[in-house]
Every structure is written in C-alpha cells, then in structure tokens.
Chain A
Amino acid sequence: MKKQRIGVYICHCGGNISDYVDVEQLSKLIQAEEGIIISKDVMFACADSNQKDMIQDIQEQKLDAIVVASCSPKLHTHTFRNVAIRAGINQYNYTQVNIREQCSWAHSDTPMDATIKAYGLIRAGMNRVSYSEALENVEIKTHRAVAIVGAGVAGMRAAIDSARMGNHVYLLEKDFFVGGHVPHLGKLFPTGEDGKEVVTKLYNTIRQMPNVTLFTGAHLEKVTGSVGNFTVEVKISPRYLSANADPQKIHRVFSDCCPESSNPLLYKDKEHRIMYKSYPEALPDIPVVDVERLQSNVAFYEKYKDIFDVNQQLQLLKLNVGSVLVTTGFDFYQPTEGEYGYKQSDKVITLPEFKKLVDANSDQLIYNGKPISSVAFIYCVGNRQAKGENKYCSRQCCTATIHTSIQLHEKFKGVKAYHVYRDIRTYGKQELLYRKSSQLGDIYLKFEEKEPPIVDCSGKQPLIKVKDYLTSKKEISFDTDLVVLVTGMVAREDRTEIASILKIPIGSDKFYNEIHPKLKPVETVITGVYIGGACQGPKNISESVQSALSGAAKINALIKRGTIALEPIVARINADACVWCGKCAEVCEYDAIKSVEFNGKQIAEVNGATCKGCGICAPVCQSDAIEIAQYTNNEIESMIDGFMSKADIKEKTVDAESHEEKKAGMKEYPHVWNQIVTLLDGQKLTIPQISEQLGHESNVITYHLMTMNKYSVVEPAGLDDDEAYFYYKLKK
C-alpha cells in the first residue's frame, strides 16, 4: 500500500550542503507535493535535537515513512533507521538521499545545477519511500560447531580455543601430519622453543579435548548451506594400515623400511619410501603407506602383511557446522631454475632448506660432505618485486634469517655470515636480533632491486658480486661456501580449490582477501566463513595465531546465541510467475537459489541467509518472477519518475540577513555549539583546551568550531605561546 503520510528532512550539514544547494527553496517545493505532511530544512539532521524532533513529528503527525536528504547512506543509514524504530515505525520505511557527496560537493562550482539535481534525488527518494514495505530481519538458527580447515599452528590454536568456548570443532588437515611448516623451522624466536615442540604441545592438548575431532588426510570436497548451517563434505584418504595392527610393530616395520636419510633436506622426500612420515617425530605418530610402492615390493609386503590393509577406501564424511575458519597457510616461494644459480649449483639453497640443515647438524656445519665456514644470505628472493608478481614484503623472513644466522654462530664455531639485503625489517622486539647479529660480526651489504647481486658458481666456491649501497655503491665481491636464498611467502599453490569451494575472494597478491584489512580483518564476503593465519597474507607465527584466534572469537560471537539476524534485503520469487528455467540459479554467485516443488511445479526458492541481495538474478529472469526487497519494480520505476520530474527552481539570492537568521537558529545547532559558546564566554581557548574541557574528541571540536567561525559566531584570537594553536573567542 502506498505511503500517504511522508516526512522529508533536508539537511544543511552546517553549510556543507546549504552553501551550494538551496535547501530552503527545496524544502518549500517538496512541501507542496502530494503525500508530504512535513518538509523541513534542518541545520544538522543527525544532531540529537533534530532526532528528537523527528520522533515527535512521526508520532504527532502519524507519519508512515521518512526521507532524510543529507550525506552518504554509509554514514547515517543506521542512525535514521534507529530514529524510525524509536518512533515506532518500521526501519525499512525510511530512505536516505545523498545530496552532499552527490550534489553540493560534486557540483560546488554550479550551485544551481546542484540544487536541480538534489531536487530530482529527493523526489526519487520520496517516491521510493512511498512504495517501501515494512520488512523484518531474517532470523537464522545456528549450529554450535566449527570446521577449521588446516591444522597448522594457527588452525590448531584456534581449534583449542573454539572448543574451550563450548563449540564442537572439526579440524581438517589435508596432509597426514599436523603442524604445517612450523616443525621444519627449528628453533623459534624469542622463546628458543623448537617448532616441533610447539606442534607437539598443541597436538597433545587437542588430543585431550573431547570436542575437537581431528581428521588428517582430509580433502575439503564441497560446502553447501549458509551461515549457521553449513554442510561440509570431506574426503578422508586412508593410511593403508590395518585397524588392529600393533602400534609397536608398525614402528618396528617403519624403521626397518626407512633407514635414516643422510641428507636432512630429503627427509620429506616420500619418493623413496614405502612408509613415510614428514619428519621423525611427526604427529599423529602413525606412518603412511605408499600403497603402490608397497605392492611393487612383494617381499616386504609378504613379510609384514598383517599390519597393512591395502583394501582401505576413501571415506566421505558430511559435517554440519555453523561456521568455517580457513587457516590453510602459505607456501614458501620456490626460486626458478637459475634464479641466483638455484638448481644450477648445489651450493645455492633456500632458507627453509638451510634451516633443516642447521637443525640436523650438531658440532660442525656439514653440507654435501663438506664443512661450511661461510654463508651468504640473499634477501627478498621472490618478494618485493616492483615489477614482478609478488610486490609485498613477507614480514618474517628478515627476522627468520637473522635468527638463523645467530644460531649458526651459537651452534658452530667460526662460521662467517654475509647478509646481502635490500632493507632490514626486524620490526618491534625483533630489532634486538639484528643488533645481536651485527655484534657477532655478521657483514651486511645492501643492494637495490634494479641491481641484484650476481652469484657466480663457476669457480670452486660461489663468488658473489654486489653493488653495495652502504659503500657508496661500490661493486664488492666475496667468496662463500654456501648461498642461501631468503625466500618469502606466497599463496598456496592449491589456494583456488578451497577458494572456489568456499567462495573466498582472492586478492591481486593471490592470498585470500578479508573484507577490510583494519575493521573486518578475518571476515570474508561470505557470512560465516572466516580466514586466519598466513592464508590471507604473509605473517609470522604469532601474527598467524592472533588472526586465527580472532577468527575463532568472531565465530563464537556469531554462533553462540543460537540465532542470527540478517538484513531482509534479498531476492523474492513470485511463485505464480516462476517457471523454473534455472537461469537465476546459474548466475547466483552465492548458491542461494534452489528449485523446490510448489503446487505441483518446480519453482525457484531463495535462501534468505545466503542471498546478499546483489540482484543479479532479477534481470535474467524471463518471466519477471524475481524482485529484490527494497528494490522492487515499483520502487525503481517511481524513483526514475521522481528524478525526471521538473520544478520551477529559482536562482538562490544571497542576502545579508540569511547569516543573521542562521545565527538566530542556534537552538537547532547541535548541543556542542551551545557548550562551546558557554565555555568561550569571556575567555579565549585553543581547540585542544576546548576539547579537554568539554570531553569531546578534538576533531569534533575542530569541525564545529570551523563552522562557527564561518558563521561569525567565533573568531581566531592569535596564536598560543608555543605558536602551535590558534585561540578562539566569541565574536561580539
């Protein structure tokens, strides 16, 4: 039913709008329109006093819809929705019209055009609100269970806390062993703990928690449903070990089949083993059988037949969860062949490889059977490429390298370390490491991306030539036994699999994208799907854990109450018109449309929880059976009509009295103005002093004071003693 009693409020925004848009004239023109009970121009629509007036108007005049023509809806939609609620009408019977950003600011050089455009927009908003419906938020029931994808340190830590908050956690790990990269990093700064210890601790805690279920070898297959009620389908790969095999025997057979490799860099190399683990203490402490290799080694199979079960099948699980947290982590950048001699010379390795080497040697650093007495680290390999793919800095590699270098000195005597870097970014407490490393005599050489160092492996020892920016750009050379490429972090190679299953957007840096890096740092555009840890960008371990934990906390806040309220601005199906052609479901990015049976025919049904109200389905519908709440055909068409309507708008005449009138209208100004006027009575004060005495932020005071200055309520009264701030006093 069309709304008949509409109130329109046109805001001056303290001159921001009214200096260019003739709001008084507009207000009078609108007042004459049909269905308009009240049309007012107000100094600040958002001011408390005006909000009170609006509520009074709505209640006294029995208004059934309101329009506020002021600033961007991003700023004050919720302010005026609340006004509607407090006044006792439905919050969706209110429309915001933006005449500041779109009119006065955009057309400040042609005020007449700004006024004409504002008139059109207000008429459009007025028409729209007359067709507006009273809508109720969608309430959704939530499962108190969480699926966490990826059991690295971030995922494990989030699982523990999410479980402690009373949720059931399904922790899914693609690999057969938990921990991700961390067990291979050796000693960690600043605690000196070994990465393996950290993982073992987390794993043991998880094992003791009844409401965490860990799946290893688990592939995410499919996710359906929406926030509060996702169905997660998981494929579990078997280990091919008999369910009732004696664990001790398994270990015996494992050590029998897999003699320790002398090359620590090859430990993870599964290609040579029938049974393998990612590292000797890997958890869960059950090796995995390479079934093809087992079948080709008949003698071995026959010997230990009873512990194997080659007939095990992939298992498919369906889990019901209220929310999903993705902590899939990252890959280390793999240098291309020939990048600083990588893969062309065995004397060039990456930092992760080198860390394993340091971890595996005890008294003397031996590589390929030869003692190593000098190491050159080349920084920012595959990172910070101004023209390349990975433009970002990986944050943790400077610290990791310098920490490794210090361990090098502590563990092995007399190893010389050269750091060929671009910038050292050992931020925060990590700076102490940088200091320590130079105290230990490490030599730092700085290069620029445009002139990278040259690694010459043709001789007996690698020879490095670098244009050193610390030595007035002199070309300097040095010999080293080993070249270590400090490789940064890149998005996982398999990132798109999970991204397409969960519809997580991928950024230009290929990491998963949150909605807002500061204000919504772990949320994705899919409600109920969160990201944490290094899958969203380079992070060190503590930062990864922090972001995963904040994801866990956000999830708990979401699912704990049992229900979720969602905005009702969603697609609606006209059941009579729908013939289920399926086009709408095809184009829906959010999988929100399914076909259901209705009165003996198939029609489309929209899942109100999943639908984002994007409207992509409406134009593809051939039978015009889809409309979007708040954007119905009536509303849109009437808006176009409203915008095209003409009025006799006159050029604004500026008269001297209008300023005086405005001053007289001080009671309409926000109460802050009155406070400032009272405070400045008989004294001059600076902005910081005023803000301190009134208890408002200084930017609020500045804003009001500048407007008051403009209308000659106050004036500057010279600089303060420090010449830092102006004094202000009342203008007589």
Chain B
Amino acid sequence: MPHINPNFSQEIKQFGAKDFEFCFNCGNCTAICSLSTASESFPREMIRYSTLGLEDELKSSLKPWLCYYCGECSSDCPRQAHPGELMMSLRRWITAKYDWTGLSGLFYKYIAAYIIGFLLIIAGIIAFAVSKDFDQEVIMHYGHYFEMFAIAGVFAVILVPNIIRMWIYTIIKPKVKAPFKSYLNAFSELIIHMFTQKRTLLCEDTRETRVRWFEHLILVIGYLTLLFTTVFLDWFGSHNLFVISLGYIESAIIFVVTFDFVLKRIKKKSELHKFSHPSDWFFVIWLFFMGITAFMVRLFIDINIIENNFWLYLLHLIVLVQWAIIIVPFGKWTHFLYRSFAMYFAKISGIKIK
C-alpha cells in the first residue's frame, strides 16, 4: 500500500516546484491539457502523487515526459498551483532519480554545486594551459581530443546507464509486458521524436507554439551539426570554405536562438518562462556562450588575430568543458534523450498517447 511521505513536497520544491500544494483537485489542468488523454491523464494525477509523496508511482511514470509545458494548465488553474511548473520540476526530479551518480540531484538542488563545479573546471583548464606554456597548437589539439572523448565518455559512463535505469523503473519494475519485437517496431518512434519533438505542436495551436517548436528544431539541428562539424570535420583546423561557412551558420543559429530564449526568460511573458530554475538559466546561457565563443574563435582564426588573443580560445574551452561534463550529463540537456526514450517506452508498453 502506498505510504504518504510528508517531506516530499519540500524535496520537490528544491527542484523548482511552486505552490503546487494549493491544488484542490478540481482537475481543470487535466481537462484543458491538449496532450492529456482519457487513459493517460495528467497533470492532476502527478500533482496528487507529489502532494502525497508517492515516489514509486512517480518514478515509474512516463507522464512527466508527456508534457511539453505550454503553460495552459498554469494559467487556468483556479488556485494558482502552477501545475505546469510542477511537471517541469518532476522532470528534473525524475532525471535525478534516473542518474546513478546522484550528481544530477546535487546540481538541481544546490546552485553552489554548480558554481563549485564551474570553478574547478576553470582552475583545471588554466592549470592545464600553464602546464603547456599556453602553447596554442597543443592546447587546441587537446581541445579537439577532449571533444571526442567527452562525447563518448559521457554517453558510455553516464547517459547510457541512466537510460537503462529509466527503462528498469518504467518498464521492468512495473512489469510491463513488452515483447522483444515491439522494441524493434517502436524504434522509428524514438528517432522521430528525438529529432522533431513533434508533440510540441500538439500543444495549444498558437503562433507562439509554432515559433517555439521551430526555434527548438533548428537549435537541435544546429547543435548536432556543429558538434559534427567541429569533431569530425575539425572546423577550427579546416581550410575547406564549405566547412568553415557551415560552422559559422551553425554557431550563429545557436547563439541567436539561445539569445531569444534568454530574453524570453527575462521578460517572463508566458507561463513557460515565468519560473526559471538555475538549471534552466545555465542551460540557455552556456549554450549561448558556446555558440558565440565558437563563432568568435573561428572569426579570430580567419582574420588572423587568434595568436594574440589566445584567451578567447581558453574561454571557449572553459565553456565547452563546463557544458560537456556538467550541463550535458546532469542538466536539462538530458531531457532531449529521456523525452524521446519516454515516447519509445510508451510505444513499447502499448500506452496510447496523442
């Protein structure tokens, strides 16, 4: 029998939930949600589980991932319980549960953890640069290596085990019947959702929704292709005009889109942007830094002033390392993976979603 955990509300608040205990269970949020269905209804159920602190029910649920946070539930809540923000917080909390290292939880809960992590990386890179006598070529060479190994390492050591844990929580422990064939059949679902995030468009059909989806789409494409361009086409070292211009476009897309995201979070106009958890800020700001520093580094190379302004590359490297080993494995970046896998698992379990 599920047992109430009265301290859960305090815990989930550390992950950013606001006032969700104001809820008086009217169900308006569920009724208005365009993604909620009769068999898979949310957010009310999630609010209820959170109020009572039924962690097992929450952990085994894919529902946090079914929400794309249009914010309609929050703006229509008669008690201002911000159900949308609770769903967001549950995504943070649940990724902390998926994460075997426990670091996600630490970062989500304590901003100090982030700052300490960032400072350590700054110190490490400066120390590394000093040890290499600020030799540009060597450092850029290692930088390139780092990119390759970081991607492989983070995937192998953190992300893949975490996705396996997610699978255990949502499929194995609840004893969902899923024949092996269904894993194969549903695979296309994973890829489609990962790259299109098409369910965003099922949210309330407004211009804002379409803009948001489009921005997100080009950001994902820009990000992934820039990764490819720098790692495999060696953008910073390339002399191919096509590769160079491609890199410029991709990095520009990243910093322009993220600049818009940052602005929206500052203006707080829509429900989605009203509450920003530190992890939200770090995500958009670091992505912005990544884009702009990469762009500037290549620009400095092209106009031949990089040698006298090597600090810029070090700055880029710091941002890159912080991004790759803190924000990507333990922050909001993982949502990209978990959300797609949630759709995949939903398909496998035969859950009917929109």
- A interface residues, Cβ below 8 angstroms from B: 374, 416, 418, 434-435, 438-439, 441-446, 465, 468, 470-472, 474-479
B21 touches A438 (CB 8 A): yes
23 A-B pairs with C-beta separation under 8 A: A434-B24, A435-B22, A435-B79, A438-B22, A438-B24, A438-B79, A439-B19, A439-B21, A441-B9, A441-B21, A442-B21, A443-B52, A445-B52, A465-B1, A468-B52, A470-B25, A471-B45, A471-B52, A471-B54, A476-B4, A476-B54, A477-B1, A477-B2
Of B24, B45, B51, B79, the residue contacting A443 (CB under 8 A) is B51
When distances are taken between beta carbons in the complex, the residues of chain A under 8 Å from B4 are 418, 443, 476-478
Q: How far, in Å, is B13 (CB) from chain A's closest CB?
A: 10
When distances are taken between beta carbons in the complex, the residues of chain B under 8 Å from A446 are 25
Q: Report if B335 contacts A (CB, 8 A).
A: no
When distances are taken between beta carbons in the complex, the residues of chain A under 8 Å from B117 are none
Nearest to A441 among chain B residues (CB) is: B21
A472 touches B45 (CB 8 A): yes
When distances are taken between beta carbons in the complex, the residues of chain A under 8 Å from B23 are 438
Nearest to A374 among chain B residues (CB) is: B6
* Assembly CA distance A398 to B3 (angstroms): 25
- Residue interface bits B245-289, CB-to-A below 8 A is 1, else 0: 000000000000000000000000000000000000000000000
Q: How far, in Å, is B103 (CB) from chain A's closest CB?
A: 29
B1 touches A476 (CB 8 A): yes
Question: With contacts defined as CB atoms under 8 Å apart, how many contacts are there between chain A and chain B in the complex?
Answer: 53
Chain B: interface size category = 10 to 19
* Assembly CA distance A706 to B6 (angstroms): 63
* Assembly CA distance A479 to B3 (angstroms): 8
Best-surrounded residue of A443, A475, A477 (most CB of chain B within 10 A)? A443
Q: Report if B333 contacts A (CB, 8 A).
A: no
When distances are taken between beta carbons in the complex, the residues of chain B under 8 Å from A472 are 45
When distances are taken between beta carbons in the complex, the residues of chain A under 8 Å from B22 are 435, 438-439
Chain A interface mostly? strand
* Assembly CA distance A545 to B49 (angstroms): 43
Q: Report if B165 contacts A (CB, 8 A).
A: no
* Assembly CA distance A441 to B52 (angstroms): 11
- B interface residues, Cβ below 8 angstroms from A: 1-4, 6, 9, 19, 21-25, 45, 48-49, 51-52, 54, 79
Q: How far, in Å, is A399 (CB) from chain B's closest CB?
A: 15
Q: How far, in Å, is B21 (CB) from chain A's closest CB?
A: 5
Nearest to A475 among chain B residues (CB) is: B1
B52 touches A477 (CB 8 A): no
When distances are taken between beta carbons in the complex, the residues of chain B under 8 Å from A443 are 4, 6, 51-52
* Assembly CA distance A434 to B22 (angstroms): 10
When distances are taken between beta carbons in the complex, the residues of chain B under 8 Å from A479 are 3
* Assembly CA distance A471 to B22 (angstroms): 16
B2 touches A476 (CB 8 A): yes
When distances are taken between beta carbons in the complex, the residues of chain B under 8 Å from A434 are 24
Q: How far, in Å, is B51 (CB) from chain A's closest CB?
A: 6
Nearest to B81 among chain A residues (CB) is: A438
Q: How far, in Å, is A408 (CB) from chain B's closest CB?
A: 14
Q: How far, in Å, is B288 (CB) from chain A's closest CB?
A: 37
A474 touches B2 (CB 8 A): yes
When distances are taken between beta carbons in the complex, the residues of chain B under 8 Å from A471 are 45, 48-49, 52, 54
* Assembly CA distance A721 to B278 (angstroms): 56
When distances are taken between beta carbons in the complex, the residues of chain A under 8 Å from B25 are 444, 446, 470
When distances are taken between beta carbons in the complex, the residues of chain B under 8 Å from A444 are 24-25
When distances are taken between beta carbons in the complex, the residues of chain A under 8 Å from B19 are 439
* Assembly CA distance A443 to B21 (angstroms): 8
Nearest to B51 among chain A residues (CB) is: A443
When distances are taken between beta carbons in the complex, the residues of chain B under 8 Å from A470 are 25, 48
* Assembly CA distance A416 to B4 (angstroms): 12
B21 touches A476 (CB 8 A): no
B3 touches A476 (CB 8 A): yes
B3 touches A416 (CB 8 A): no
Best-surrounded residue of A374, A470, A479 (most CB of chain B within 10 A)? A470
* Assembly CA distance A446 to B1 (angstroms): 17
Nearest to B44 among chain A residues (CB) is: A470
When distances are taken between beta carbons in the complex, the residues of chain B under 8 Å from A438 are 21-24, 79
Best-surrounded residue of B3, B4, B51 (most CB of chain A within 10 A)? B4
When distances are taken between beta carbons in the complex, the residues of chain A under 8 Å from B49 are 471
Q: How far, in Å, is B48 (CB) from chain A's closest CB?
A: 5
* Assembly CA distance A444 to B45 (angstroms): 14
When distances are taken between beta carbons in the complex, the residues of chain B under 8 Å from A465 are 1
Q: How far, in Å, is B53 (CB) from chain A's closest CB?
A: 9
A477 touches B3 (CB 8 A): yes
When distances are taken between beta carbons in the complex, the residues of chain A under 8 Å from B45 are 471-472
* Assembly CA distance A441 to B9 (angstroms): 8
Of B6, B24, B52, B79, the residue contacting A416 (CB under 8 A) is B6
Q: How far, in Å, is A466 (CB) from chain B's closest CB?
A: 10
When distances are taken between beta carbons in the complex, the residues of chain A under 8 Å from B9 are 441
* Assembly CA distance A475 to B21 (angstroms): 20
Q: How far, in Å, is B4 (CB) from chain A's closest CB?
A: 4
Nearest to A446 among chain B residues (CB) is: B25
Q: How far, in Å, is B86 (CB) from chain A's closest CB?
A: 14
Q: How far, in Å, is B45 (CB) from chain A's closest CB?
A: 7
When distances are taken between beta carbons in the complex, the residues of chain B under 8 Å from A374 are 6
* Assembly CA distance A416 to B23 (angstroms): 17
* Assembly CA distance A472 to B49 (angstroms): 11
* Assembly CA distance A470 to B9 (angstroms): 17
* Assembly CA distance A472 to B30 (angstroms): 14
Q: How far, in Å, is B318 (CB) from chain A's closest CB?
A: 42
* Assembly CA distance A435 to B6 (angstroms): 19
Q: How far, in Å, is A608 (CB) from chain B's closest CB?
A: 59
* Assembly CA distance A444 to B24 (angstroms): 8
